[in-house]
Structure 1
Amino acid sequence: MLVNLVPSAMDFATRPKARAEPQKKSVPIVPDAIDPVTRTTISLEYASLQHRDHCPLGMYVVPSPESLLVWDAVFFVHQGYYADAILKFRLTFPSNYPDNPPTVQFVTDVFHPLISQSGMFQPGPAIPTMAEHRVFDVLHWIKAAFKKQALDGIRESECLNKEAYRLYHDTTSSFAGLASQSSLLSQSAPALFDRDHPTLRGKPRDALPFRELAPDQLQTMRTKIGLKEWQQGPEQR
């Protein structure tokens, strides 16, 4: 499933051809510029995501075309306070990986105790330590952070969003409302399709762009991949 998400033009084993003219803009990191051990480790971990249970349900991941050290992901939340949210985030691996863990930054705005205003994610105490920080573990920790069990175990000292923490413990109904609002906003057309939307300023541009389809294009796509029409109940007719 995940293998199909890799851009077809990517080839980690091929050295790019030298250009005749020097480029004025900065040259992206290419696989050969990465330490061989790091490159091999990250490549193997990406390949391992196709194994059952390695990639959490509802998550899709793809390496950035510019660098193997950067992965872009989208998380479709199925239940809980953030049900139906569509959350994009980015994993950035250090050059000495796996000695140090990747950093996680959410591109989508989300009101969560462990996520800062800039989108940086901080694992809380209810989530296992990153001492063993294989990518599939990190992805499962991210998903766990949106469940009630993890939210219950978060300590204020660990939080990057103190307001979210206080509301969760003092006025849970208010927290639930803001979490639901985050979910609704994440599904909005500006959040999904408008790359110049103000909420995305200063955030990384991801390799998993969403494209808005016209009704006829959507129907063609649904037919192509074999999706049936939604079954409407009496209350939806």
Structure 2
Amino acid sequence: MLVNLVPSAMDFTTRPKPRVEPKKTAPIAPDAIDPVTRTTISLEYASLRHRDHCPLGRLPRMYVVPSPESLLVWDCVFFVHQGYYADAILKFRLTFPTNYPESPPVVQFVTDVVFHPLISHSGIFNLAPRFRPWRPKEHRVFDVLHWIKAAFKKHALDEIRESDCLNKEAYRLYHETTSSFAGLASQSSLLSQSAPALFDRDHPTLKGKPRDALPFRELAPDQLQTMRTKLGLKEWQEEPQQS
């Protein structure tokens, strides 16, 4: 199942290094949110447990949790397992408008910097190629999550129009010098796995910035082994080489 609903006390989560932090706004009290919007968002979050609402996959690929400050903000982390962005750990935020579902949520990646045709330098992700136009009675959050996952695959990259691209250079390289695009996409993946991106350990650029609902923390070797044993995970072993 692609999306897993994560409890707030998750043991292994991240606060990455964002290039541009999403705008800081005062928390909206639950009573201030329109009842229809509040009910719709709550039901859609609960529905993510439904198997048919998640892309099929052997491994969990996305975690989603509402911000403790506002139901209108969801923090998400996406693990990419294949393609140009293989092994990337990408964090993004869904921000719902107060008139949702009449208008779509805003998607902003906070992992610094994802080299992708549909992602701007500030992390904004363009939903338009999939939702043209947004239909409030038809489109739901799980459709958005499906599109985010699909957008990192080759078939989606092949079909993206230049007019929809927020990063024109990524689009140009993908179509003219694929090897250069692949190198920069791989670099994005490597940077997303770095300690400064994953952990807020002595990272000066994170001072004064709000914590999201999915902070990663680094485990000591003994803590990691205890966690692996608890989860029933086996140690990785190299296969013997054949002579």
TM-score with structure 2 setting the length = 0.82
On the 8 A contact 1:91/1:103 being kept in 2, the answer is: yes
* Residue of structure 2 in register with 1:206 after alignment: 212
* Residue of structure 2 in register with 1:111 after alignment: 115
Q: Equivalent residue of 1:44, what SS? A: helix
- Could you say which structure has the greater relative contact order, defined with CA pairs below 8 angstroms and 6 or more residues apart? 2
* Residue of structure 2 in register with 1:6 after alignment: 7
* Residue of structure 1 in register with 2:167 after alignment: 161
* Residue of structure 2 in register with 1:185 after alignment: 191
* Residue of structure 1 in register with 2:234 after alignment: 228
On the 8 A contact 1:64/1:206 being kept in 2, the answer is: yes
4+ residue runs of structure 1 moved beyond 3 angstroms? 1-4, 195-205
Going from structure 1 to structure 2, the CA distance change for 1:111 and 1:202 (only over 3 Å counts) comes to: farther
On the 8 A contact 1:75/1:88 being kept in 2, the answer is: yes
**Partners in 2 of 1:203 and 1:180 — Cα distance?**
28
**Partners in 2 of 1:202 and 1:137 — Cα distance?**
34
1:78: Cα distance to partner?
Answer: 1.1
**Partners in 1 of 2:109 and 2:28 — Cα distance?**
22
Higher-Rg structure is 1
1:197: Cα distance to partner?
Answer: 4.2
Going from structure 1 to structure 2, the CA distance change for 1:3 and 1:178 (only over 3 Å counts) comes to: closer
**Partners in 1 of 2:201 and 2:39 — Cα distance?**
32
On the 8 A contact 2:5/2:48 being kept in 1, the answer is: no
Matched AA of 1:35 = D
**Partners in 2 of 1:196 and 1:155 — Cα distance?**
41
**Partners in 1 of 2:209 and 2:142 — Cα distance?**
24
**Partners in 2 of 1:168 and 1:218 — Cα distance?**
39
Going from structure 1 to structure 2, the CA distance change for 1:230 and 1:136 (only over 3 Å counts) comes to: same
* Residue of structure 2 in register with 1:61 after alignment: 64
Going from structure 1 to structure 2, the CA distance change for 1:156 and 1:3 (only over 3 Å counts) comes to: closer
Q: Alignment length, in residue pairs?
A: 217
Q: Equivalent residue of 1:234, what SS? A: coil
**Partners in 1 of 2:52 and 2:190 — Cα distance?**
28
* Residue of structure 2 in register with 1:47 after alignment: 46
Residue ranges of structure 1 left out of the alignment (5+ in a row)? 9-25
TM-score with structure 1 setting the length = 0.84
Deviations 1:72-117 (CA, angstroms, capped at 9, x unpaired): 0000001110011000000000000000000000011210000000
Going from structure 1 to structure 2, the CA distance change for 1:124 and 1:206 (only over 3 Å counts) comes to: same
Going from structure 1 to structure 2, the CA distance change for 1:157 and 1:4 (only over 3 Å counts) comes to: closer
1:123: Cα distance to partner?
Answer: 2.5
* Residue of structure 1 in register with 2:158 after alignment: 152
**Partners in 2 of 1:119 and 1:150 — Cα distance?**
19
**Farther off after superposition, 146-155 or 26-35:** 26-35
**Partners in 1 of 2:208 and 2:127 — Cα distance?**
22
**Partners in 2 of 1:157 and 1:87 — Cα distance?**
25
Going from structure 1 to structure 2, the CA distance change for 1:42 and 1:196 (only over 3 Å counts) comes to: farther
Instruction: Please give the root-mean-square deviation of Cα atoms over the aligned residues, in Å.
Output: 2.4
On the 8 A contact 2:86/2:189 being kept in 1, the answer is: yes
1:216 to 215, 222, 225: 222
% identical aligned pairs? 82
Q: Equivalent residue of 2:125, what SS? A: coil
On the 8 A contact 1:115/1:121 being kept in 2, the answer is: yes
